[in-house]
Amino acid sequence: MSVPLGEILAHPALAAADPLLHAPGRDVAADPVRWVHSSEVLDIAPLLRGGELLLCGGITLAGATPDKRAAYVQDLAQRGVAALAIETGGVLPEIPPAMLEKAREHGLPVVELREVVPFVGVMQAINSILVSESVGHLQQADAATRAMAAELAHGASLDRILDVLAGTTGSAVKLTSPWGVILGNAVPEGHNPHPADLAADQARDSPAAQSADDAGAPAGGQDHLEEVAGEKLVTVDIAVRGVLMGRLEVRVPEGADAGLAHVAGERAVDILGLALLQHTPPGLHALAGAELMRAVLTSAPEWRLEQLAPGAGFPASSPAVVAAVHAASPQKLRGAMEALLGAHRIPNAAYLDEAELVVMIGLPCTDTAAERRQLLASLRELEGDHDAVISVGPLAGGVAEAAWSLAEARRALEVRQLRRRTASARRRSYPARGLVVIDAGDVAVESLALTALDASARDAFVHRQLRALLDHDVQRQSQLLETLQVWLDSGCNTAQSARELHLERQSMHHRLQRIFELCGGDPRGTGRLAALHLAARLAGLP
């Protein structure tokens, strides 16, 4: 379900724009494009899946700050966008050199569209090709799935079931445990396994690999496509009722259709899950953990949670926290988190619910607050390159409070997203990319406001306390609200605030003096300090 970038640029619908490719130091003509999308929104990255050719008219970019342009490019690159096409001329005579340099730094191809073309026509022309190809892939994949189901119904082995998939895709396929031990494999007729693949198989079947499997050291990754030794490798995780059971690997040789392999692999997940249940059913501990997390997600009655907890390794009355995780590759991050917690013998249970990973983590009954702080520090130092946000909920006194801890963790994610939108509206870059760990306790005030106050009451309170300051920021394009927020959050520490804002001490003092004039004087030592702090925290909420 993809078309090479070079073919898209040569298509008459886009060639009319006289495209100029600014490649990031590598040949990108063969890079697959999964879809063509058009948007002027600079915070579009979280709404994309990766593999898109993004068309941009340049209107919003023309008025954006250099920092915002850089963040835009970085976010798209981290999201895995295939290329960014920008129309130049008019309000944006050329693509800013600093923006092109940032794109090269992050490996994002940028296409300069030097003539005007209707984006709607481009999207219709290219996406219709992609849709037609998708329909053909789905038909072939469904035929393969029906054949695999027939084999399963007749008691066939994993190798025989995989042989159907290998014949459909023309590729070598392999099913492994989550820890890499081979459970079954198959190759199409006339296929010679790649030497690197044979070496990997031997390594995975070694006693050391078998020991790792018995020890339960997880390693995971979401379904994806990558280049391996000149071939394309499609991997798809096989999960059954929230328990990761195995991983399907499809090694696509040169000339075969990687798109078909990807679709067929995804469509085969349910059949392979049933096959794994027959041949290698999960342990009781894993099933109990998944059932407990489903109960937490559905806010089951307390008695049900307390009934399920011991089987998953959680004493019913033991303290715990629940983390909500949004990640580009949730299974990969799940493996890293489970490895970290397992190494410290910390009880945990995880469940992947669509795009959200939810993890419950047990804590000792003594020195619990310190253990929670250490957990946050350890999560921030997780090994690996993760594009994710981990929100850790407040301490639950027992499993009966787990749903509340999860709700607070999710609300902290909501507050972060609201702050990102506010920063974007003010044309300011928002920090924290890559792996971000949020302590839900840090946004307890915002959480309370979102649940206890309606939007009109919050807005009225903020304007009563900060109206003059907010008007000043709008009229002068100043950043006094941000300065006040940082200063109050630091405990009114002027030196620390200046460092965080990258200001000279004298500049910081000047800003504070202006803030005091607009807010009725220095609030320190008065009852107004708490009100100002609350208003500043609520100012980022809609």
Domain boundaries, the chain: 3-117, 133-279, 284-425, 453-538
CATH class of 284-425: alpha beta
Please report which confidence band the pLDDT of residue 10 belongs to, taking 50, 70 and 90 as the band edges.
Answer: very high
State the first-to-last Cα distance of the chain, in angstroms, to the nearest integer. 39
| Superfamily in which the 3-117 domain is placed by CATH | HprK N-terminal domain-like (3.40.1390.20)
- For 516, left (φ over 0), alpha (ψ -120 to 50), or beta? alpha
Sign, Cα dihedral of 23, 25, 26, 31: negative
pLDDT of 53: 93
Q: Which residues pair with 238 in a beta bridge?
A: 246
pLDDT of 208: 38
pLDDT of 174: 92
Let me know the angle formed at the C-alpha of 356 by 173 and 45, rounded to the nearest 5 degrees.
Answer: 90
Calpha distance 146→152 (Å, rounded): 10
Same topology, domains 133-279 and 284-425? Answer is: no
> Which CATH code for domain 453-538?
1.10.10.2840
Q: Which residues pair with 390 in a beta bridge?
A: 325, 437
> Which CATH code for domain 133-279?
3.30.450.40
Asked if residue 254 lies in contact with residue 230, where contact means CB atoms within 8 angstroms, the answer is: yes
Model confidence over 250-301: pLDDT tens digits?
A: 998 877 777 788 888 888 888 998 888 787 666 666 777 878 888 888 888 8
Long-range contacts for 182-186 (Cβ within 8 Å, ≥24 apart)? Answer: 183/158, 183/246, 183/276, 183/279, 183/280, 184/157, 184/158, 184/159, 185/159, 186/159, 186/160, 186/162
What tokens were used for 131?
Answer: 């849709």
Please report which confidence band the pLDDT of residue 47 belongs to, taking 50, 70 and 90 as the band edges.
Answer: confident
Calpha distance 431→18 (Å, rounded): 36
Model confidence over 137-183: pLDDT tens digits?
A: 888 888 989 999 998 888 888 899 999 999 988 899 999 876 567 88
